[in-house]
Structure 1
Amino acid sequence: MKKLWLLFLLIPSLVFAQSKEEMMAQVKANPKDVNSLRLIQKIGGYDPNYKELNDLYKKLDKKVRKTNDGLLFDRYLKALKNTQIGKKAPSITQLDLAGEPYALSDLKGKYVLIDFWASWCPDCRKQSPSLVKTYATFKDKNFEILGVSFDRDYEPWAKAVKDDNLTWKHVSDLQNWNNAAGQTYGVKAIPQNVLIDPQGIIVARNLHGDALNAKLTELLK
């Protein structure tokens, strides 16, 4: 199974041996335990299903939902709801590698893949060659990529862009997991991406490799 870089609060090690079904059953059996929030986050994993997570969250005791962790999770759920397929993509404006503001709206009228990644993320770097090939294939067909980095330091971010030959536009606020765009899009695992159409509507999430190429071929024919 592909290893993914996930942002989770501390979870007992036993959780990592549980199946999704077992974790869901544990959440339902412990609605008054604040640790159930961590389990729901784990259930969401890399490609979270908003309805599934929201249904589990709503089953938690009101006191748990009103804790600080509960309110933060509710904010995360709202971000997921607002960035589902068919929704208008929220705006992004961060600094590019030259230190200049750059916005998602600057790519209006194109198909855009918003790629959430970081220089320190091994799986992000492993997918770089495939993404480079995808960009070479479709960049002259009204397609662009906007890389949003979860780096904290400028130098490794810039070096990774150069070393991996990532020739598309890149932005970051250098806030690591607190990246504002990542929070707006409900991103708690990388690599992760969102594909939007020329009208700014989200048409797909988390497509990689052949699946991404197939979707772009369908859209750009």
Structure 2
Amino acid sequence: MKKIMLLFSLIISISTATAQMKIGDSLPDFQLKNNKETTINLAFLKGKTVLIDFWASWCGPCRVANKKLVPFYNQNKSGNFEIIGISLDIDTTKWKNAIEIDKLPYTQLIDPNGFDAKTALLFGIEQLPSAYLFDESGKLIAINPTLEEISIQLKK
């Protein structure tokens, strides 16, 4: 019986770990805390084109990507476009310091359990940075899109 339970829990954990967003999936509804300790529900994004950007303060490529995303966001924020940064940092102080250093003007959320975080498992995050572009109807239209691909979507 013990072996059966162990096998069952292994199967469950493998199927959970491989869950991942696919093109056409809807933006999941979840709540996370922002860098001001306020719980944010993603419902406020309805009707907007949204880039969900997974990153962490310790991730060098993420920090380089931030330097490109900030001016892109500043150029496009007056339209119907939002970027939501979701950090997989475990240390919230390092995360908040990175937000300040990188001067990230868009919404920053944290799911502080690293790659075991609920959102990381939901989206199937295996590496950072990882980004997901949702259209105005809330459907996933691109995974790890380039800024050019996002610009094309915003012009539609």
Q: Bin the TM-score by the shorter chain.
A: 0.7 to 0.9
Q: Which residue of 1 aligns with 2:15?
A: 74
Say which one has the larger Rg: 1
List aligned pairs for 1:55-204, cutoff 5 A: 66=7, 68-77=9-18, 79-80=19-20, 83-204=21-142
Could you report, residue by residue, the CA deviation over 1:58-102 in whole angstroms, capped at 9, with x for unpaired residues?
Answer: xxxxx9xx465443222233x22xx10111121221011111110
- Choose which of 113, 133, 152 in structure 2 pairs with 1:218: 152
Moved over 3 A (4+): 66-71
What runs of 5+ residues in structure 1 fail to find an aligned partner? Answer: 1-62
User: As a proportion of its length, which structure holds more strand?
Assistant: 2
Residue in structure 2 matched with residue 3 of structure 1 by the alignment:
none
The secondary structure found in structure 1 opposite 2:86 is strand
Count, aligned residues: 150
Question: What is the CA–CA distance in structure 1 between the aligned matches of 2:80 and 2:134, rounded to whole Å?
Answer: 12
Alignment of 1:7-86 (within 5 A): 66=7, 68-77=9-18, 79-80=19-20, 83-86=21-24
Structure 2 match to 1:55: none
**Alignment root-mean-square deviation, CA:** 1.7
Structure 2 counterpart of 1:41: none
Normalised by the length of structure 2, the TM-score is: 0.88
Work out the CA distance in 1 between the residues paired with 2:30 and 2:103.
23
Question: How many Å separate the matches in 1 of 2:126 and 2:29?
Answer: 18
Structure 2: unaligned runs, 5 residues or longer: none
Q: Distance in 2 between the 1:129 and 1:173 partners?
A: 22
Offset, 1:173: 3.0
More helix by percentage: 1
Instruction: Give the 3 Å change call, closer, same or farther, for CA 178–198 of structure 1 in structure 2.
Output: same
3-state SS in 1 of match to 2:68: helix
Aligned to 1:47: none
